[in-house]
Amino acid sequence: MSDYLERYPHALMNTFGPPKLVLVRGEGSHVWDDQGREYVDFLGGIAVNTLGHGHPAVVEAVQRQMSTLGHVSNFFATPPQVELAERLLELAGVAPGAGKVFFTNSGTEANEAAFKLSRRTGRTHVVAAEHGFHGRTMGALALTSKAAYREPFEPLPGDVEFVPYGDADALRAAVSERTAAVLLEPIQGEAGVNVAPPGYLAEAGRIAHEHGALLWLDEVQTGMGRTGRWFASADAGASPDVLTLAKGLGAGFPIGACIGLGEAGDLLQPGNHGTTFGGNPVACAAALAVIEVIESEQLLAHATALGQRLRDGLAADPRVTEVRGEGLLIGLDLVSESSADVVAAALEHGFIINNPTPGRIRLAPPLNLSEADADALVSAWPAILDSAGVGA
């Protein structure tokens, strides 16, 4: 056993259980542990490592900015902060002035900001989806339906109602004139990659806006090219009022964003919210580099094509009963609840994958994953399932 694995439980809180490996180095879509073994990373830090590990453009941007100006308080502005806000508004399809950005350090903080923003409507009722996941802080947890996450920390902020994901009729029955916001993920990642039915997000927007409520889309996992589009909701006709981002935005450097579109961008005013580290120039420089690389390397198209190639290849094994997802956010169902065994077997074969539920596998590799690495997983897939005893 690694010396670090032995030391880990004596030094770190047991919030994540025993770690599987001690990773010491990464390059592109590959990582190495402290025993010298190499793995292909198909989890990408749970959809964080947009450009893999050690991308030179991100490294250079962070080093350059850190050597110039590492941190200032939010009494001051910096060029990367302003430029990144403008770029995100542009990617969201609006011009500066038609939306505003609040920067955070993580997805749960972006959702906390959006939750507080929704209270500025003068209403408190929020309608969210069953099986959704929005973070672990108290406010974000109040919006997350999973009982095992919620119950140890109740009472949580109230007036949150959960409805079945994808059910427009249930949503319509829940939303009223007292509703502040409807909160949805375009694709539910933590649940095992549940894709919104066609027309659902657009209908959710119509329902929310008919009652004067905000449509708040959590794109923490799905944003920044993960699905082959800048935002998974981009072509859904949804007209969101609030978008929340994190994960892939910094490609490994911690940053999140709460984007208020239209009038929602003016709901938070001085004194309503704040952050010490959010929007610091190093994080913003990293995110600007990520956007530039996605554009220059045409990674939206690459993620779309390679994601289809992976889904087709993995679905060819009859022990996979369903494959879902868009771009390089992929979920698949197994014939048995053996996903933990499949993850362990994949690790032995040199692949890092994830099991969000007992019967489901999730993949969220870097957007610049190579065709060779994708094909390697597809080729090894039957042997991985054999090793895990799936269908035996």
pLDDT, one tens digit per residue, over 28-80 is: 999 999 999 999 999 999 999 999 999 999 999 999 999 999 999 999 999 99
Q: In this predicted model, what pLDDT tens digit does every residue of 14-24 receive, in sequence order?
A: 999 999 999 99
Q: Are residues 87 and 164 in the same domain?
A: yes
* Active-site pick, 247, 317, 333, 351: 247
From the list 233, 186, 181, 234, the residue with the least C-alpha distance to 212 is: 181
Domain count, the chain: 2
- Within this chain, do residues 288 and 241 fall inside the same structural domain, yes or no? yes
Tokens 């329902």 correspond to what residue? Answer: 207
Give the residue numbers spanning the domain of 86.
57-296
Same domain, 77 and 153: yes
Mean pLDDT, residues 373-383 taken together? 98
| Residues 241 and 363 grouped into a single domain | no
| 1: confidence class by pLDDT, cuts 50, 70, 90 | low
Enumerate the β-bridge partners of residue 274: none
CATH number at residue 149: 3.40.640.10
Which one is catalytic: 102, 133, 253, 351? Answer: 133
3-state secondary structure of 21: coil
User: Is 116 a catalytic site residue?
Assistant: no
Which two structure tokens, joined as six digits, stand for 189?
């990642």
Cis preceding linkage at 197, omega within 30: no
Whether 196 and 270 map to the same domain: the answer is yes
Last residue of a domain, one of 296, 322, 357: 296
Which ranges of the chain does DSSP label H, i.e. alpha helix?
A: 3-11, 44-47, 56-68, 79-91, 107-119, 138-142, 147-150, 168-174, 200-210, 281-296, 299-315, 339-348, 371-387
What tokens appear for 59 in the block? 């490294």
Is 108 a residue whose pLDDT tops 90? yes
- Mode of pairing for the β-strands spanning 242-245 and 256-261: antiparallel
Answer yes or no: do 109 and 238 share one domain: yes
Examine residue 201 and state whether it is found in any structural domain, yes or no: yes
Residue 355: enclosing H or E segment and its boundaries? strand 354-357
Q: Is residue 392, in this structure, part of any structural domain at all?
A: no
- The yes-or-no verdict on residue 392 having pLDDT over 80 is no
First to last CA, the chain: 30
Q: Which helix (H) or strand (E) holds 328?
A: none
Are 242 and 149 part of one and the same domain?
Answer: yes
Does residue 109 form part of some domain? yes
271 with 321, same domain: the answer is: no
Which residue among the candidates 218, 241, 333, 341 is catalytic per the annotation? Answer: 218
Paired tokens of 174: 């829940």
Query: In the chain, pLDDT over 70 holds for what percent of residues?
Result: 99
Last residue of a domain, one of 296, 313, 343: 296
Q: Is 247 a catalytic residue?
A: yes
Q: Is 70 exceeded by the pLDDT of residue 7?
A: yes
Select from 296, 320, 351 the last residue of a domain.
296
Phi, psi for 43 (deg, rounded to 5): -105, -30
Residues 280 and 370 in one domain: no
279 and 382 fall within a common domain: no
Catalytic residue status for 218: yes
Q: Are 253 and 292 contained in the same domain?
A: yes
Q: Which of 351, 391, 371 is nearest to 307 (CA)?
A: 371
Same-domain status, 132 and 240 = yes
Q: Do residues 331 and 386 touch, judged by C-beta distance below 8 A?
A: no
Q: Quick one: tokens of 268?
A: 């938070």
Q: Which CATH number characterizes residue 357's domain?
A: 3.90.1150.10
